[in-house]
Amino acid sequence: MPYAVQHTLAGPATLQGTSLHTGEKVSLTLKPALEDHGIRFRRIDLPDMPFIPADVSKVQTVERATTLAEGSVKVHTVEHVISALAGMGVDNALIEMDANEPPIGDGSSRPFVELIQKAGIAPQTAPRRIWEIREPIHMETGDGTIITIVPSKTFRISVTNVGPEGRFTQYFSGEVTPATYEKEICAARTFVYYEDVKPLLDKGLIKGGSLESAIVIRGNEVMSKESLRFHNEFARHKALDLIGDLMLSGIRILGHVIAVKPGHGPNTKVAATLKAEYAKMRSMVPAPISIPAGEGVMDINEVLKILPHRYPFLMVDRIIGFEGEDKCTGVKNVTINEPYFPGHFPGHPIMPGVLQLEAMAQVSSVIMLRKPENMGKIGYFMSADNVKWRRPVLPGDTLVIECRIVKMRGSIGQTRCRCLVNSEVVSEAELKFLLLDR
């Protein structure tokens, strides 16, 4: 799926039918939504008409379907309608229902695709966020389920369905685009094994099920009002479910999803992993730096006038602000071109902790040496106390160095410092200096 802007629906469209598990009559309306809204459900049959975001954090149960809950409010069997929206390229939509479960239709997502086409799809202006998978994501369960996502320049799904005793083992693989989703995936219907029907009925499920809304497999025979639509219809339906469940991560991906015996439980666990890994990846993006209130900034040329350090040992690129006479904030942009990276943990580049300490010392020197009485002097380390390193600093990080003078007596100064990346403290120390004439 290439880079593009976000899309929503061009207008509302309504579908009526019967819910699979509750057997209730339900009216479902798809409506346009604003940029970055995502996909949300709304129970218009309840007081206050509460919303439930289609987010993996709201997953409550995954038995034969995916159920979302916000407090005591629930929506069941959400995977088919979410799959249709995701597969057809809709990023933002509101799904209003007057019951707790969408209509099951023929057991596929084709009725929802037709509803989307009736509503129309409209481009928006905000860019669509697509995460290109760079490192494999892997999950296995004890019952033989395996789901792996590996790097790919497209969004592709490969599914192997394996029934009890190996019955109806099928395979499907294909790139997922709106065109291929409509042609190759959305028409695949849900299915159930005959021996599971009574236990499901005993649990109060599939009350709205029929041979018109699902395929029943009895032994090696297929029971259905209609013959199989594809020779590998069961594997295709597993791909359909997987697309809907993975979209609960809130992220579109470029990657190849390889799944053996997938199900709603494992699918949603992978969706949770995707969401967590995406958040972890985004945390490495430097946050905007707020300039402290004060006297402005010092560029590198002004820093060089105060500090005696030069390449490769200058650890401050810029001073971004002062607070009064006692606090100074500097910045060091850490790049892979730093001279210490080739020899410090080759293959796993991290900024040496002692150089973070040196960065603190240099920013401390700036605030002390800019005082009129200290101009022309140089600061020498006397001690470093309470030094702590809390997390690695990596190439691409922006190191923000905050230093405050806590004591200045004659030619001896003491500062308390910390380094931050994305507002998270990565190291800290208390430093003592002796100021002498150069």
* More reliable by pLDDT, 180 or 301: 180
Residue 99 Cα distances to 20, 24, 42, angstroms = 12, 7, 10
Q: Report which of 338, 339, 337, 294 is spatially closest to residue 319, judged by C-alpha positions.
A: 294
Segments in 217-334 forming alpha helices (H): 233-246, 264-283, 300-306
Name the token pair of 416.
Answer: 């308390």
The highest-confidence range among 190-204, 209-223, 395-409, by mean pLDDT, is: 395-409
User: 165-179 as b/e, with b when 16 or more CB fall inside 10 Å?
Assistant: eeebebebebebbbe
For the residues 288-315, what does the mean pLDDT come to? 79
For residue 71, what are the CA distances in angstroms to 38, 52, 60, 148, 269?
A: 20, 9, 10, 32, 20
User: What pLDDT was estimated at residue 2?
Assistant: 47
pLDDT at residue 338 tops 90: yes
* pLDDT of the residue at 1: 43
**Longest Cα separation, the chain:** 95
**Cα–Cα distance measured from residue 149 to residue 424, given in angstroms and rounded to the nearest whole number:** 30
Confidence of residue 200 (pLDDT cuts 50, 70, 90): low
**Residue 297 to residue 42: CA distance in whole angstroms:** 50
Within its chain, how far is the Cα of 178 from the centroid? Answer: 22
- Please state the three-class secondary structure of 16-32 as a single string: EEEECCCCCEEEEEEEE
User: Would you place residue 203 in the very low, low, confident or very high pLDDT band (cuts 50, 70, 90)?
Assistant: low
What does the angle CA 170 – CA 185 – CA 218 come to, to the nearest 5 degrees? 45
Structure tokens, 238: 């597993």
Indicate if the pLDDT at residue 307 is higher than 60: yes
Spatial separation of the C-alpha atoms in residues 363 and 401, rounded to whole Å: 7
Instruction: Specify the higher pLDDT residue, 149 or 437.
Output: 149
Regarding predicted confidence, which is higher, 316 or 345?
Answer: 316
Domains and CATH numbers, the chain: 5-283 (3.30.230.20), 300-437 (3.10.129.10)
Q: What is the pLDDT of residues 15-70, one digit of tens each?
A: 999 887 677 889 999 999 999 999 999 999 999 999 999 999 999 877 778 999 99
Q: For residue 240, what pLDDT is reported?
A: 97
Residue 218 clears pLDDT 90, i.e. is over it: no
Catalytic residues: 264, 344
Residue with tokens 């992993």: 273
- Residue 280 confidence (pLDDT): 83
What confidence score (pLDDT) does residue 210 get? 64
pLDDT-based confidence at residue 194 (cuts at 50, 70, 90): confident
For 242-259, how does the pLDDT look when each residue is reduced to its tens digit (9 = 90+)? 999 999 999 999 999 999
Omega cis (within 30) before 312 = yes
pLDDT tens digits for range 61-107: 777 789 999 999 999 999 999 999 999 999 999 999 999 999 988 99
